[in-house]
Chains A and B, each alone.
Chain A
Amino acid sequence: MDPMLQVQDLSVHYKTRRGFVRALEELRLDAIQGETVGVVGETGSGKSTLGKAILGILPAGTQVDGKILFRGRDLTQLSNQMYRRLRGEEIALIFQDPMTRLNPLMTIMDHFVEEIRDHESVSADEARRRAREALVSMGIHESRIKNYPHEFSGGMRQRIMIALAIVLKPSLLIADEPTTSLDVIVESQILGILQDLKRAYSMSLLLITHNLGIVAEVCDRVAVLYAGKLVELGPVRDIFRKPLHPYTQGLLSSIIHLETKELHSIEGSPPNMIAPPSGCRFHPRCPYAQSICVERLPPLVEFEPGHFAACHFGDKFL
Chain B
Amino acid sequence: MAQPELGDEILRLDNLNVHFPVKMPFVQRLLQREKAVVHAVDGVSFSIHSGEILGLVGESGCGKTTVGKASVRLLNPTSGRIFFAGQDISKIGGRSLRTLRRKMQIIFQDPHASLNPAMAIGRAIGHPLWIHGSEFGIQNLSSTVFRERVQQRVLSTMREVGLTPEEQLYDKFPGDLSGGQKQRAVIARALILEPDLLVVDEGVSMLDMSIRAKVLELMLDLKRQHGLTYLFITHDLATAKFICDRLAIMYLGRIVEIGPARDIYADPKHPYTKALLQVVPIPDPDKRKEKVLPRGEVPDAVHPPAGCRFHPRCPAVLPSCGWEGRDFVDFLDEHLSDPKRAGDDELVLGPIENWRTNGLVASLEAKPLNIEEAVERVKAVLAEAPIAMAQAIESVSTHKRTVIIHFRPPNELRQTQVGDRIVECLLYQ
How distant is the Cα of A141 from the Cα of B296 in the complex, in angstroms?
Answer: 11
Q: A269 contacts B283, CB within 8 Å?
A: no
Q: Which residue of A lies closest to B181 (CB)?
A: A269
- Which B residues are CB-close (under 8 A) to A269? 178, 180
How distant is the Cα of A185 from the Cα of B235 in the complex, in angstroms?
Answer: 9
Q: A142 contacts B281, CB within 8 Å?
A: no
Q: A185 contacts B275, CB within 8 Å?
A: yes
Centre residue among A219, A236, A256, A265 by max chain B CB count within 10 A: A256
Q: Is B113 an interface residue (CB 8 A)?
A: no
Q: Which residue of A lies closest to B272 (CB)?
A: A185
Q: Assess A42 versus B279: contact at CB under 8 Å? Given A184-B235, A184-B237, A269-B178.
A: no
Q: Assess A42 versus B285: contact at CB under 8 Å? Given A263-B242, A270-B178.
A: no
CB proximity of A150 to chain B, nearest CB, Å: 12
- Which A residues are CB-close (under 8 A) to B293? 185, 188-189, 192
Q: B337 contacts A136, CB within 8 Å?
A: yes
Beyond A210-B208, A217-B281, A255-B209, 13 extra complex contacts between A and B, CB < 8 Å: A141-B333, A156-B297, A185-B293, A188-B279, A212-B283, A251-B210, A252-B283, A256-B209, A256-B238, A258-B265, A265-B213, A269-B178, A270-B178
Q: Assess A43 versus B208: contact at CB under 8 Å? Given A153-B61, A185-B276.
A: yes
How distant is the Cα of A129 from the Cα of B288 in the complex, in angstroms?
Answer: 36
Q: A184 contacts B283, CB within 8 Å?
A: no
Question: Interface size on B (CB < 8 Å)?
Answer: 45
Q: Assess A263 versus B235: contact at CB under 8 Å? Given A153-B61, A217-B282.
A: no
The 0/1 profile, CB within 8 Å of A marked 1, for residues 280-301 of chain B is 1111111110010110011000
Q: Is A316 an interface residue (CB 8 A)?
A: no
Q: Assess A213 versus B281: contact at CB under 8 Å? Given A256-B242, A265-B210.
A: yes
Q: A257 contacts B209, CB within 8 Å?
A: no
How distant is the Cα of A216 from the Cα of B282 in the complex, in angstroms?
Answer: 7
Restricting to A104-148, which residues have a CB under 8 Å from any CB of B?
Answer: 136, 141-143
How distant is the Cα of A8 from the Cα of B75 in the complex, in angstroms?
Answer: 54
Q: Is B239 an interface residue (CB 8 A)?
A: yes
Q: A141 contacts B180, CB within 8 Å?
A: no
Q: A184 contacts B236, CB within 8 Å?
A: yes
Q: B297 contacts A155, CB within 8 Å?
A: yes
Chain A residues near B (Cβ < 8 Å) = 42-44, 136, 141-143, 153-156, 182-189, 192, 210-217, 219, 236-237, 240, 250-252, 254-258, 260, 263-266, 269-270
| Cross-chain contact of B283 among A153, A188, A255 (Cβ < 8 A) | A255
Q: Is B179 an interface residue (CB 8 A)?
A: yes
The 0/1 profile, CB within 8 Å of A marked 1, for residues 188-211 of chain B is 000000000000000000001111
- Which B residues are CB-close (under 8 A) to A236? 285
How distant is the Cα of A210 from the Cα of B179 in the complex, in angstroms?
Answer: 14
The 0/1 profile, CB within 8 Å of A marked 1, for residues 21-63 of chain B is 0000000000000000000000000000000000000011100
Chain B residues near A (Cβ < 8 Å) = 59-61, 178-180, 208-214, 216-217, 235-239, 241-242, 265, 275-277, 279-288, 291, 293-294, 297-298, 333-334, 337, 352
- Which A residues are CB-close (under 8 A) to B281? 211, 213-214, 216-217, 257
How distant is the Cα of A142 from the Cα of B334 in the complex, in angstroms?
Answer: 10
Q: Assess A213 versus B337: contact at CB under 8 Å? Given A185-B294, A189-B293, A265-B210.
A: no
| Cross-chain contact of B337 among A141, A184, A186, A270 (Cβ < 8 A) | A141
Q: Assess A188 versus B217: contact at CB under 8 Å? Given A237-B285, A237-B286.
A: no
- Which B residues are CB-close (under 8 A) to A237? 285-286
Q: Assess A257 versus B210: contact at CB under 8 Å? Given A192-B291, A263-B242.
A: no
Q: B280 contacts A265, CB within 8 Å?
A: no
Q: B210 contacts A263, CB within 8 Å?
A: no
- Which B residues are CB-close (under 8 A) to A250? 210
Q: Which residue of B lies closest to A269 (CB)?
A: B178
| Cross-chain contact of A265 among B217, B237, B285 (Cβ < 8 A) | B217
- Which A residues are CB-close (under 8 A) to B216? 256, 263
CB proximity of A40 to chain B, nearest CB, Å: 9
- Which A residues are CB-close (under 8 A) to B60? 153-155, 182-183, 186
CB proximity of A178 to chain B, nearest CB, Å: 14
Q: Which residue of A lies closest to B278 (CB)?
A: A188
- Sample of 18 A–B contacts (CB below 8 Å): A42-B211, A43-B179, A43-B208, A141-B333, A143-B352, A154-B60, A182-B60, A185-B59, A185-B294, A189-B293, A210-B208, A217-B288, A219-B285, A237-B285, A254-B209, A254-B210, A256-B238, A257-B283
Q: Which residue of B lies closest to A40 (CB)?
A: B209
Q: B209 contacts A251, CB within 8 Å?
A: yes
How distant is the Cα of A151 from the Cα of B234 in the complex, in angstroms?
Answer: 24
Q: Which residue of B lies closest to A260 (CB)?
A: B242
Q: Which residue of B lies closest to A264 (CB)?
A: B213
Q: Assess A213 versus B283: contact at CB under 8 Å? Given A254-B213, A269-B180.
A: yes
| Cross-chain contact of B212 among A44, A136, A256 (Cβ < 8 A) | A256
- Which B residues are CB-close (under 8 A) to A260? 238, 241-242
Centre residue among A141, A155, A183, A263 by max chain B CB count within 10 A: A183
Q: B239 contacts A256, CB within 8 Å?
A: yes
Q: Which residue of A lies closest to B280 (CB)?
A: A258
How distant is the Cα of A187 from the Cα of B205 in the complex, in angstroms?
Answer: 13
Q: B297 contacts A153, CB within 8 Å?
A: yes
- Which A residues are CB-close (under 8 A) to B237? 184, 258
Q: A42 contacts B210, CB within 8 Å?
A: yes
Q: Which residue of A lies closest to B217 (CB)?
A: A263
CB proximity of A19 to chain B, nearest CB, Å: 16
- Which A residues are CB-close (under 8 A) to B209? 210-212, 251, 254-256
Q: B279 contacts A184, CB within 8 Å?
A: yes
- Which B residues are CB-close (under 8 A) to A136? 337
CB proximity of B73 to chain A, nearest CB, Å: 26
How distant is the Cα of A211 from the Cα of B236 in the complex, in angstroms?
Answer: 12
CB proximity of A85 to chain B, nearest CB, Å: 33
CB proximity of B227 to chain A, nearest CB, Å: 21
6 tightest A-B contacts by CB? A213-B281, A265-B213, A183-B235, A188-B279, A263-B213, A183-B60
- Which A residues are CB-close (under 8 A) to B210? 42, 250-251, 254, 265-266
Q: B59 contacts A183, CB within 8 Å?
A: yes
How distant is the Cα of A260 from the Cα of B210 in the complex, in angstroms?
Answer: 14
Q: Assess A265 versus B242: contact at CB under 8 Å? Given A212-B209, A256-B209, A258-B265.
A: no
